[in-house]
């Protein structure tokens, strides 16, 4: 039986579902590892998984795709457990998987992800859709943060056609989808590659105006890339009042060394402005703990910023140097210090989330995504998970908790 094992982000998980649709039925089962390369530790886990899976499934063909395969094809070609590599552009195309193990397969691996690329349309054709699904609106990233290798696995920003995306929403809403999450590598940069001005907020407004979608949610956004139409978007009741921000740090010097495009005041001003427009809004953030050269004072500046802004849904990443990035060549902190700072930030996140939960005043509108014995499970508008003692309600129902 064919199988796809996904590492990494929401985008990778979406693509893994598409690969499952494309895999041909063969006498020899195909196992695809859809890899991630965000840290050296992640790649170590990918290699470990490759060896383990092949040992447990010696009669299966093992294919590696994803960012690790794209960035370091020669490394993985040398692993005896790997039967074939598929690049990040071709992996969503049927022709990449048809007759993939012919005696003399043609190697179409795209080495240069920055060359002219022809992306496959990000669409799932299967009949089984969840109540909440991702909509991939763009690929790639134009920025070069000093800690990040992902542009070399994904390429530069490439936005998908807005009419295609609107039609895709219509199609999956007809299949029963109630909420979509706008997904990509850098969704706030959507449309910057178009000849005519068209941005993420305009796409959202067109989706809301032209479809019957109940709820729309944004994945990670960059506060300094937000366009002039965003105020209108964030006030729409069908746009969920929870924003996940790509912050990474709250100290200006560390942000500069990361080569981020914002400073601490940009974050404060954005959060304050959004709260002035929508009282019930909450925030999450990605934060790197223990970035090279980070002093105790710099760490405290990040801690203090999160406290002041009450950013409650924290994704904390202990810094791990990624080979071939500028940050890997900077003076590194001791692992014990990184671990300690990550622990403090995670504890702060738990405290802030408890406070935010107590202060939310609106009824909780929970989208049921799972049904257990005697209870339903789902997320409310502020992306807080609930388990509600109810029976007889179907997946996809929106209930008041």
Based on the domain organization, do 188 and 39 belong to the same domain?
no
Domain identity same for 288 and 215? yes
Residue 384 sits in the same domain as residue 291: no
Residues 257 and 347 in one domain: yes
Residue 25: its pLDDT value, please? 82
- Residue 128's pLDDT band, with cuts at 50, 70 and 90, is low
Q: CB–CB of 267/294 below 8 Å?
A: no
Q: Is residue 125 part of a domain?
A: no
pLDDT at 302 over 70: yes
pLDDT of residue 109: 82
Position 127 scores a pLDDT of 63
Query: Is the residue at 238 inside a domain?
Result: yes
Chain segment 325-377, per-residue pLDDT in tens:
999 999 999 999 999 999 999 999 999 999 999 988 888 999 999 998 889 99
What are the pLDDT digits (tens) for 161-198?
999 999 999 999 999 999 999 999 999 999 999 999 99
Q: Are residues 48 and 139 in the same domain?
A: no
pTM exceeds cut of 0.85: yes
Mean pLDDT for 384-393 is: 88
Shared-domain flag, residues 287 and 196: yes
Would you say residue 106 has pLDDT above 70?
no
Domains held by the chain: number = 3
In the predicted model, is pLDDT for residue 103 greater than 60? no
Q: Is residue 110 assigned to a domain?
A: no
Domain residues for the domain of 340 are: 132-359
Helix 264-277 to helix 296-309 angle (10° resolution) is 10
Residue 49 lies in a domain: yes
Regarding whether 295 and 338 lie in a shared domain, the answer is yes
- Kindly state whether residues 152 and 290 are assigned to the same domain: yes
Return contacts of 38-45, CB within 8 angstroms, 24+ apart. 38/8, 38/9, 38/67, 38/148, 38/149, 38/150, 38/322, 39/317, 39/320, 39/322, 40/320, 40/321, 40/322, 40/323, 41/320, 42/7, 42/8, 42/68, 43/68, 43/72, 45/7
387 token code pair: 């388990």
Determine the Cα–Cα distance for residues 374 and 361; give it in Å rounded to an integer. Answer: 27
Q: What's the whole-number average pLDDT of the chain? A: 93
Closest CA to 11 of 31, 38, 49: 38
């Amino acid at each position: 039986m064919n199988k796809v094992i996904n590492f990494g982000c929401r985008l990778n998980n979406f693509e893994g579902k598409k690969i499952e649709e494309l895999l041909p039925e063969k006498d020899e089962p195909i196992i695809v590892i859809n890899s991630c390369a965000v840290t050296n530790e992640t790649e170590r886990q990918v290699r470990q998984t490759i060896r383990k899976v092949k040992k447990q499934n010696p009669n299966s063909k093992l294919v590696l795709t994803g960012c690790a395969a794209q960035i370091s094809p020669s490394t993985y070609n040398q692993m005896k457990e790997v039967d074939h590599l598929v690049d990040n552009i071709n992996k969503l195309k049927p022709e990449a998987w048809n007759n993939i193990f012919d005696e003399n397969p043609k190697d179409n691996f795209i080495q240069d992800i920055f060359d002219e690329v022809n992306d496959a349309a990000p669409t799932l054709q299967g009949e089984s859709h969840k109540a909440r699904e991702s909509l991939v609106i763009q690929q790639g990233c134009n920025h070069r943060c000093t800690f990040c290798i992902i542009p070399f696995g994904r390429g530069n920003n490439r936005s998908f056609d807005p009419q295609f995306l609107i039609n895709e929403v219509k199609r999956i809403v007809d299949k029963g989808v109630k909420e979509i999450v706008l997904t990509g590598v850098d969704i706030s940069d959507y449309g910057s590659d178009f000849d005519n001005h068209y941005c993420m907020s305009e796409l959202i407004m067109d989706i809301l105006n032209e479809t019957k979608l109940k709820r729309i949610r944004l994945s990670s956004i960059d506060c300094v890339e937000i366009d002039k139409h965003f105020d209108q978007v964030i006030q729409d009741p069908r746009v969920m009042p929870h924003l996940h921000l790509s912050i990474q740090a709250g100290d200006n010097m560390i942000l500069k060394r990361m080569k981020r495009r914002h400073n601490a005041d940009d974050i404060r001003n954005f959060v304050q402005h959004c709260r002035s427009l929508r009282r019930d809004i909450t925030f999450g953030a990605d934060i790197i703990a223990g970035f090279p050269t980070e002093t105790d004072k710099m760490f405290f500046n990040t801690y203090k910023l999160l406290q002041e802004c009450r950013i409650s849904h924290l994704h904390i990443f202990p810094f791990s140097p990624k080979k071939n990035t500028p940050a890997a060549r900077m003076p590194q902190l001791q692992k014990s210090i990184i671990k300690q700072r990550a622990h403090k930030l995670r504890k702060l996140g738990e405290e802030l989330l408890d406070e935010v939960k107590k202060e939310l005043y609106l009824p909780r509108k929970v989208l049921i995504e799972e049904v257990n014995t005697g209870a339903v499970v789902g997320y409310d508008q502020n992306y807080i998970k609930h388990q509600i003692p109810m029976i007889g309600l179907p997946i996809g129902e929106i209930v008041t908790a």
